[in-house]
Each structure stands twice: as C-alpha cells, then as structure tokens.
C-alpha cells in the first residue's frame, strides 16, 4: 500500500480522526434535532412548519458557506478549519439549550450549519484525498462510516438524555462531546508534508486510486473545474439524488404508515435504511479500489431507482425492507464515491474549494427535498407521486453522472 507521505501509517491516523469527527459532529449536527423536536414543539407550542423552517435555513446556510469553507481548507489547512468548525458547533449546541423564542432557533441553526460544514465531510474527504493514492476508496469509505455510526449512536444517546434530564440538559451535555473533537483534530488531522511522484494514469476506466496520483501542477483549480462538463454533470446529478434521499430520510416512516404498514414495521424499515447507509459506505469505498470508478458510480446511482419500485403499494411486508437494504447501501456508497469522483476528474491539489462548491449543490437539493415531497403528498393525498418523481430523478442523475471524465487531460499543455 502506498500513501502520499513517507511517514507510514500517518494517513490512517487521519482516517481515524475523520471517522470520530463524522460520528460525533455529524451525529449531533444531523440526527439529534429530530429526537428533541417533539419536546421543543411541546414546550413552545410552535407549529411543525415553523420549526421545519429551521431545517431549511440550516441547509441553505450550509450551501452558501460551503464554497468559502473549501477555499479556507486549501488556503489555511484542514486542521485550522476543523478547529473553527468545532468551536462554532460547540457554541451552537450550548445555545440550542438556551433558546426561548423562535428566531433564536433559526439563528442558532445557521451557526450550527456553519460549524458542521467546517468539521464534517468536506474537510475530511479533502484531507484523505491528499493522503492516499492507492486505497483511497477504502480510506474514504472507512472515514465516512462515521456518518452512519453517528446516525445510530447519537440519537440513542440523545434519547437517553431526553428521558432522564430533558432536551435542554441534553443539548448542553452533547456540546461537550463536540468540544472533545478538538483532541483528535489537533493530534491527527494534517496534510501530508510531501507527495510521492508517480505516473498519472489518465484512463477513465482505471480504478479510483490509479488516476489521481502524482502531479499537483496538473490538478485543476476551481475556476477551471467549473468550466468542465464533469463538474456540473456530477455535481447536479449528486444534488438531485440528495434531494430524493432527503425525502426518504424525513418522510419514509410517514409514507409507509400511510400505505397501511404498522408503525413498528415502518420504523424498523427506516432503521434498516440508516444501517445500510453505513454499511454501503464501506462496501462501495472498498470496491472502488478494484473496479473502474465511472461504471461503479453509474451502478450505485442507478440502484435506488430500481429499489424505489418496492415502495409502491403491495401489502408485502418484505418489500420496504428490500428497498431499505438496496437504497440504503447505494446511499452510503454515494458518500464514499462522490469525493473519489471529484479527485478522479480534477485531482486533489484544490479538492477543498471544488468539493465545497459541489457540496453547495448537494445541500440545496437536500434542503428542498422534504418540502417538495410534502407538497406532492398534500396535493395528491398519496405518496405514489413522490415515488414516481424519485425514480425519474434517480434516472436523471445517472444520465448526468455519465458525463464524468478525467478533465486534467483536457487542460494539459500541448
């Protein structure tokens, strides 16, 4: 195995730190609020719609701030940006325990979003891409497992805190879990001191780790990347996939219950979906080191379209679980493969800026998904229209992602 620095296992320390950061920061930032939502609503009497505006603001704030975060990573280094993000998230989590009026919630969720952008997947993916030439897919997949781990562990911890101490004390306690991230960040997060020189394989059919090693001078800057078809094809394709996954993440239990399944069955299918998100990250990340990346991307992004067919009313209890397994694994694969696709197309020298802007597209889709799903359901009185739209969008994402290629060869002198 080759890393981009001669220090042996240094890159795997970065992977370990990334896993911990994603488990805690993403777990607290993404998955805890739904656990506390009911208690917050009960205490203040705010409508679900007014509270949901906070989620939309969270997403749009992240979309606006993500490109700036990416530029900071490239200019100042990953460690400084992640320290800033962790301090912002620490402050936001404490402030959430003190809210008393609705605008407090909105303002703090914006601060929380800025913190999460700076200490989760954008910096983690960017720094891992710089460390690894070989086994980049495996390394990224292992780190991104933290997203699934955080989605499983942190809501359970939050629920225990809620039942024993209340939501305000819960947020206060969780803030110190976030602050503890400073330890792995300061100890392990760093860019490699130097890169090994290696011949660059520009064949689009090469595995993910074999076409991005070597010449930093050949890597594209953000201004060059945005002028390519790969940037917009992969970015928009991923964004519309994120839109659909946001619908399923927020509304799957409701849709399954509406279709006649018992709430326990619907909840179990949703839990399976979240678990498979985690498993899919490691699975597809490891496969990416062994097969052509473009074909694997197309397969991964096409799978959810097939799986969604299982959600149409049939009364067969097993079908929602088939959907959860297949669609969940593919969604986890997306988390591992997307940063690999950016490295494949543009190189890693300016990964922070490129990933930051691409992530804005994803967050916009993520923010709009539940709203679109809710409107379709309210207008039709059924979830079937949502499923049809999901299949169409998944197929569209495959068509867009199919344009990806190694763009560095198009900008090479001569």
Give the confidence band of 127 by pLDDT, cuts at 50, 70, 90. very high
* The pLDDT of residue 232: 96
CA angle, corner 301, sides to 328 and 225, nearest 5? 125
At residue 244 the predicted structure's pLDDT band, cuts being 50, 70 and 90, is: very high
Q: Give the range with max mean pLDDT: 146-150, 187-191, 355-359, 396-400.
A: 396-400
pLDDT value for 7: 37
Tell me how far apart the alpha carbons of residues 120 and 70 are, in angstroms, rounded to a whole number.
Answer: 12
Q: What is the pLDDT of residue 214?
A: 45
Q: Give the CA angle between residues 175, 181, 187 to the nearest 5°.
A: 160
DSSP 28: I
Q: What confidence tens digit (pLDDT) does each residue in 320-350 have? A: 999 999 999 999 899 889 999 999 999 988 9
Please tell me the distance from the alpha carbon of residue 355 to that of residue 341, in angstroms, as a whole number: 10
Calpha distance 252→248 (Å, rounded): 5
Which domains are assigned to the chain? 10-188 (1.20.1250.20), 208-411 (1.20.1250.20)
- Provide the strand spans (E) within 236-282: none
Tell me the pLDDT of the chain averaged across its residues: 86
Q: Residue 270's pLDDT is what?
A: 78
Q: How many CB atoms lie within 10 A of CB 286?
A: 17
What spatial distance separates the first Cα and last Cα of the chain, rounded to whole Å? Answer: 33
Q: Which residue has the higher pLDDT, 386 or 33?
A: 386
Structure tokens given for 272: 């399976």
Q: How far is CA 16 from CA 3, 124, 208, in A?
A: 15, 10, 21
The set of residues, in sequence order, having a beta carbon less than 8 Å from that of 262 and lying 6+ positions away, is none
With contact defined as beta carbons under 8 Å apart, do 363 and 66 qualify? yes
User: What is the three-class DSSP state of 288?
Assistant: coil
* Contact assessment for residue 57 and residue 110, using Cβ atoms and an 8 Å cutoff: yes
Token representation of residue 28:
């607290």
Structure tokens at 327: 């669609």
Look at the chain and count its residues. 414
């Amino acid at each position: 195995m080759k890393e981009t620095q001669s220090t042996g296992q240094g890159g795997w320390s970065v992977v370990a730190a990334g896993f911990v950061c994603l488990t805690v920061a993403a777990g607290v930032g993404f998955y805890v609020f739904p656990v506390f939502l009911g208690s917050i609503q009960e205490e203040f009497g705010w409508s679900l719609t007014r509270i949901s505006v906070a989620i939309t603001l969270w997403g749009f704030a992240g979309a606006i701030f993500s490109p700036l975060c990416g530029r900071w990573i490239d200019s100042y280094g990953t460690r400084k940006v992640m320290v800033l993000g962790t301090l912002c998230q620490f402050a936001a989590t404490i402030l959430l325990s003190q809210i008393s009026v609705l605008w407090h919630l909105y303002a703090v969720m914006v601060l929380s979003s800025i913190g999460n952008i700076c200490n989760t997947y954008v910096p983690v993916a960017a720094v891992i891409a710089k460390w690894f030439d070989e086994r980049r897919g495996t390394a990224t997949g292992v780190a991104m497992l933290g997203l699934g781990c955080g989605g499983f562990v942190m809501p359970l911890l939050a629920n225990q805190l809620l039942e024993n101490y209340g939501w305000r004390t819960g947020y206060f306690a969780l803030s110190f879990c976030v602050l503890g991230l400073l330890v792995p960040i300061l100890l392990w997060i760093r860019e490699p001191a130097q890169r090994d020189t290696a011949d660059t394989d520009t064949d689009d059919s090469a595995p993910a780790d074999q076409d991005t090693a070597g010449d930093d001078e050949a890597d594209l800057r953000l201004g060059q990347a945005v002028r390519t078809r790969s940037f917009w094809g992969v970015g928009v394709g991923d964004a519309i996939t994120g839109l659909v996954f946001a619908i399923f993440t927020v509304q799957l239990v409701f849709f399954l219950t509406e279709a006649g399944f018992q709430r326990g069955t619907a909840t179990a299918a949703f839990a399976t979906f979240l678990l498979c998100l985690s498993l899919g990250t490691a699975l597809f990340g490891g496969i990416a080191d062994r097969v052509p990346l473009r074909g694997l991307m197309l397969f991964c992004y096409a799978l959810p379209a097939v799986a969604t067919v299982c959600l149409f009313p049939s009364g067969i209890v097993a079908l929602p679980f088939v959907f959860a397994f297949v669609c969940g694994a593919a969604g986890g694969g997306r988390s591992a493969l997307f940063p690999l696709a950016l490295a494949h197309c543009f190189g890693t020298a300016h990964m922070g800026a490129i990933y930051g802007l691409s992530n804005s597209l994803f967050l916009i889709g993520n923010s709009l998904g539940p709203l679109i799903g809710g409107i379709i359901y309210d207008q039709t009185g059924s979830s079937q229209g949502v499923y049809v739209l999901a299949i169409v969008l998944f197929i569209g994402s495959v068509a867009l992602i199919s344009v990806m290629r190694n763009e560095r060869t198009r900008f090479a002198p001569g």
